[in-house]
A and B are shown apart, each in its own frame.
Chain A
Amino acid sequence: MPMVKCRTCNGTYEPLQADGTRYYHACPPLERATVDRLGALVDVDARTVQPGERVVRQFTIDRPNHRDENLKVIAFDASGNAIVDMKAPGAGVDRV
């Protein structure tokens, strides 16, 4: 199976692994940091923290329109089996 590229995070991956199992892509979150800038606490991209700035906390947030192919149960059929769908389709994927 060809590799695909996630339109949200631009990551590339193989949906079907060499051992025949499926791969479930999830976009990396955005890394944020709360820093003390001139006495005010502000949330910034963690990569933009300047040398000498005091980092109060580091955290992550979901990327906007993130894709998460992992499954969630959305209903059950007449036999009681789960009907599943991906958690978040994001912006989709392209073959590469």
Chain B
Amino acid sequence: MFPTTPTFSNDFGAAARAFAAPAPFYIGGEDNLELSGITSATGVQLVAAGRVMGFDGVSRPFDQRIALTSNRVITTSLFALGEGFLQQLILYPASGTPANGQCWARARIVRGLGGGTTVLGVLASGCVTAAQPLQFPGSPLRGPLDGPGFIRSIAGTNPNAGVNVTETVPTGARWKMLTMSVTLVNDATVANRLMSIGIDDGTTRLYTTLAGAVQAASESVLYTIAGFGMVHVANPRAILPLPAVPIAMLAGYRFVTDVVTFQAGDNLSAPQYQVEEWLEGV
């Protein structure tokens, strides 16, 4: 039977006795704090701060920091905490201004400080902002894909004349497409163009939507793709519908324009698009 209150017992002769531990999370001398973070924001420094009570009854604060890269690749560092009881821990970004969903942090207790380590426990994990830290104990454990994503408005590549738009989901990201606008300016070649916008997995097309009307020579039309689920009656080529059930776009997936009877002198603008982005956390 375990006692309901965690206890620490020393057995130093006549002074041996049992007393209530100051916190339930015992840190052995070989155990260390593993601090990890992922972000797409620039200049983020992640802080893990807290207190460990040693066997001498003294509560010692700690403050460990790592600089995160803005490329959505996980950064991890190990820190020695010393033997004792972990009383509390907080994770927050000390610099940079990551928005909600843009910075994910995790603190774990591992055994070992170099080479192979063994994970013993997860203290805290989830998205952090300057206003919303994570705390142990207290904060629920969340993965980087939990909760709402980070809303981004992105200016894409302005392609050369006669080249379609291709935008790729970056490494470490997962997107849900919200809207996209692009202008097609036709040259004088007499032929009707038909705007088509699709989503592929990097190789194979998953979804295609077509404009409701063609675009003649020398015309300029602004096209918008959005999740309205319908085509605008008065201007059928202005809005192209996204699928009612959003397609999860993983890293390497692309959205592309595919203009039917596209001419070498036709010119697409840089697309401006809005996505909800999650950090994949791999």
Contacts and interface: CB of A to CB of B under 8 A. Distances in A.
Nearest to A19: B152
Given A20-B41, A47-B262, A70 B171 contact: yes
B171 A81 contact: no
Contact of A13 (B41, B156, B262): B156
A32 interface: no
Given A19-B152, A21-B41, A70 B252 contact: yes
A23 B256 CA distance: 17
B49 to A, nearest CB: 21
B180 interface: no
A26 B254 CA distance: 10
A28 B171 contact: no
Interface string A2-31: 000010011111100111111111111101
A15 to B, nearest CB: 11
B168 A31 contact: no
B160 A9 contact: yes
Contact count band on B: 35 or more
B27 interface: no
A28 B75 contact: no
Interface residue SS majority, chain B: loop
A84 interface: yes
Interface residue SS majority, chain A: loop
Nearest to A30: B163
A26 B168 contact: yes
Given A11-B159, A23-B155, A84-B73, 4 more contacts: A11-B157, A12-B157, A13-B158, A18-B153
Interface in B236-255: 251-252, 254
Nearest to A83: B73
Contact count band on A: 20 to 34
Contacts of B156: 13, 23
Interface in B57-90: 70-71, 73-78
* Top-8 shortest CB links A-B: A28-B166, A10-B160, A11-B157, A71-B171, A13-B157, A26-B168, A24-B170, A12-B158
A42 interface: no
A73 B69 CA distance: 14
A28 B165 contact: yes
A22 B270 contact: no
A80 interface: yes
Contacts of A20: 41-42, 97
Contacts of A12: 157-158, 270
26 contacts: A9-B159, A10-B159, A10-B163, A11-B158, A11-B159, A12-B270, A19-B152, A20-B41, A20-B97, A21-B40, A21-B70, A22-B40, A24-B170, A26-B168, A27-B166, A28-B163, A28-B164, A28-B166, A28-B256, A29-B166, A47-B263, A70-B168, A70-B170, A79-B76, A79-B78, A84-B171
